[in-house]
Amino acid sequence: MSSQDLSIAAKLINGGVAGFMGVTCVFPIDLAKTRLQNQQGRDMYKGMVDCLRKTVRAEGFFGMYRVKEALLPPWEAAPWGDPAAHLCSLPSGAAVNLALVTPEKAIKLAANDFFRQLLMEDGARQNLKMEMLAGCGAGMCQVVVTCPMEMLKIQMQDAGRLVGHPQGSAAASPSSRSYSTGSASTHERSSATLTARELLRTQGLAGLYRGLGATILRDIPFSIIYFPLFANLNHLRVGEHSGRASFAHSFVSGCAAGSVAAVAVTPLDVLKTRIQTLKKGLGEDSYNGIADCARKLWTREGPAAFMKGAGCRALVIAPLFGIAQGVYFLGIGELVLRGLQ
């Protein structure tokens, strides 16, 4: 294996490890973000803490990781005192994220490094335009995995919000109706696998890529903001002898850049979440694209609705990218590959 191949493989491993570790830590907060963003009309949750508290009360601790049994009626769900029953049930929302976040983060972080090396001149320490262009390329590459991952994850995360909430169909879009008109057992025992199969059966591959435009509009600006901001923050404490910042500074820089970028693109994330949510409660809006979603959100819920879940999103993204930069600093991918040689 050549040194270049080793470098690319190491970056992919670093990104994958970082994504896996980060999602494990922050998934409950991400679940709260999804449910807060999908609230229409009378709010069920007053904020992140209230959402997580009510989730644990109604669905148990594993409900924060979107376990399948949380969709079952209370009398069929495993008792909270029986941990074995809970562990035997696949935490489908978290499983989708953990399974797909590895290639997603690997692609995002490795692609940014690749484009930076391709676009920036040798020896150039900083070039904001090229850094932004490299971030744009990374954002475009990652959506191949991000869109279907979040499409399935959102269905699992939002299901608990709809338990006991009458589901409407009159205002549903054709794509939503084709998905929602399943058997009772499908509704009760929904999982990421069943959702994916149903979408592929009724809508083809396009079903898994519902909201692709909104995902692109969110992820490209995020990467354009995040990567240059991180590089410049991290460069502030580059050591004279080591040529790189300390582990702690890289971690803090990743957290800071991630939180700023996350809050900046929250309006686009709200639109994406609304568009990708298939099952709607009674009286909740369905949307025919980005423009229709933005118009209804503005006229019916006001401008503040575009920032729903901003705090949760910052709390999710900050540690994700802090951990990612920490993993890169430690060179876990390089250590793994050297051990295999």
Q: Which two tokens stand for residue 241?
A: 């002898």
- Domain edges within the chain: 3-340
Q: Are 334 and 5 a contacting pair, CB within 8 Å?
A: no
In this prediction, residue 245 has a pLDDT band, given cuts at 50, 70 and 90, of confident
Average pLDDT, integer, range 186-212: 80
* Residues 6+ away with beta carbon under 8 Å from 190: 68, 71, 155, 156, 159
> What's the mean per-residue pLDDT of the chain?
77
Q: How far is CA 294 from the centre of its chain?
A: 20
pLDDT value for 172: 45
Q: Are 335 and 327 a contacting pair, CB within 8 Å?
A: no
In this prediction, residue 271 has a pLDDT band, given cuts at 50, 70 and 90, of very high
Q: Which CATH code is given to the segment(s) 3-340?
A: 1.50.40.10
pLDDT value for 124: 54
CA 224 to each of CA 134, 157, 189: distance values in angstroms, whole numbers, following the listed order: 8, 28, 40
Q: Please say if the pLDDT value at position 278 is more than 80.
A: yes
pLDDT digits (tens, 9 = 90+) for 49-78: 999 898 888 888 877 775 443 333 333 334
pLDDT digits (tens, 9 = 90+) for 17-39: 877 787 777 888 888 898 899 88
Which residue, 161, 171, 167, is CA-closest to 43?
161
Q: Report how far residue 329's alpha carbon sits from residue 280's, in angstroms, rounded to the nearest whole number.
A: 43
Q: Report how far residue 234's alpha carbon sits from residue 34's, in angstroms, rounded to the nearest whole number.
A: 31
Select the more confidently predicted residue: 217 or 189: 217
pLDDT digits (tens, 9 = 90+) for 161-177: 766 555 554 344 444 44
